Amino acid sequence: MLQFTGTTGKTKQTILELLRGEGIFLPADCGGRGTCGKCRVRFLDGVPAPTEEEQKKLTAEQLRDGVRLACRSCPEGEFTIEYELAEEEITAESIASEKDAAVTESGSSGPSYGQNANAAGEKKVAIDIGTTTIAAALVDAETGKVIDTVTSINHQRAFGADVISRIKASNDGKKEELKQLVCTDLRNLVAQLGEDPDTIPVVIAGNTTMQHLLLGLSCETLGVAPFTPVDISLHEVENKLMLPGISTYVGADIVAGIVATGMDQSDEICMLIDMGTNGEMAIGNKDRILVASTAAGPAFEGGNISCGVAGIPGAISRVNITDGEVQYETIGGKEPVGLCGTGVLEVMFELLKEEIVDETGLMDDEYVDDGFPLAGSIVFTDRDIREVQLAKSAIRAGAETLIKEFGITYDKIRTLYLAGGFGQKIDLKKAAGIGILPEELIGRTEAAGNTSLQGAVMAACDSSVKERYLHAVSISEEVSLSESALFNDLYVEHMFFEV
Q: Catalog residues that contact ligand FES under the rule CB under 6 A.
A: 28-30, 32, 34-39, 69, 71
CB of 17 to ligand FES, least distance (A): 11
Judge whether 398 and 357 are in contact, CB under 8 Å: no
CB of 304 to ligand FES, least distance (A): 13
- Is the alpha carbon torsion for 17, 18, 23, 25 positive or negative? negative
Q: Please, which residue, 35 or 463, has the CB nearer to ligand FES? A: 35
CB of 390 to ligand FES, least distance (A): 20
Q: Please, which residue, 157 or 430, has the CB nearer to ligand FES? A: 157
- The side-by-side arrangement of strands in the sheet containing 338-339 is 325-330, 315-322, 338-339
Q: Which residue is nearest to ligand FES (CB)?
A: 71
Q: How many CA atoms lie within 13 A of 251 on its CB side?
A: 29
Q: Please, which residue, 29 or 350, has the CB nearer to ligand FES? A: 29
Q: Please, which residue, 51 or 171, has the CB nearer to ligand FES? A: 51
Q: Please, which residue, 83 or 417, has the CB nearer to ligand FES? A: 83
CB of 138 to ligand FES, least distance (A): 34
- Residue 283 CA to residue 271 CA, distance in Å, equals 4
Judge whether 154 and 132 are in contact, CB under 8 Å: yes
Judge whether 461 and 114 are in contact, CB under 8 Å: yes
What contacts 248, CB < 8 A, 6 or more positions away?
208, 209, 222, 227, 228, 229
CB of 38 to ligand FES, least distance (A): 5
Nearest to 116, CA basis, from 179, 231, 40, 201: 201
What contacts 330, CB < 8 A, 6 or more positions away?
313, 314, 315, 316, 317, 336, 337
Q: Please, which residue, 42 or 286, has the CB nearer to ligand FES? A: 42
CB of 157 to ligand FES, least distance (A): 10
- Is the alpha carbon torsion for 41, 44, 45, 49 positive or negative? positive
Q: Please, which residue, 27 or 279, has the CB nearer to ligand FES? A: 27
DSSP secondary structure code for residue 34 in this structure:
S
Strands (E), 302-426: 315-322, 325-330, 338-339, 372-375, 378-380, 413-419
What contacts 479, CB < 8 A, 6 or more positions away?
290, 291, 292, 401, 402, 405
SS3 call for 289: strand
Q: Please, which residue, 58 or 385, has the CB nearer to ligand FES? A: 58
CB of 69 to ligand FES, least distance (A): 5
Q: Please, which residue, 66 or 336, has the CB nearer to ligand FES? A: 66
CB of 2 to ligand FES, least distance (A): 17
Give one DSSP letter per residue of 134-160, joined into a string. EEEEEEETTTTEEEEEEEEE-GGGGG-
Cis peptide leading into residue 226 (ω within 30°)? yes
CB of 386 to ligand FES, least distance (A): 21
Q: Please, which residue, 18 or 281, has the CB nearer to ligand FES? A: 18
Q: What is the dihedral of CA 135, 140, 146, 147, to 10 degrees?
A: -90
Nearest to 462, CA basis, from 40, 62, 107: 107
Please return the burial class of 122, using the count of CB atoms within 10 Å of its CB with bins 0-12, 13-18 and 19+. middle
Q: Please, which residue, 20 or 468, has the CB nearer to ligand FES? A: 20
Pairing of strands 145-153, 133-140: antiparallel
- Is the alpha carbon torsion for 306, 310, 313, 315 positive or negative? positive
Judge whether 189 and 456 are in contact, CB under 8 Å: no
CB of 415 to ligand FES, least distance (A): 40
CB of 25 to ligand FES, least distance (A): 11
CB of 35 to ligand FES, least distance (A): 6
Q: Please, which residue, 72 or 212, has the CB nearer to ligand FES? A: 72
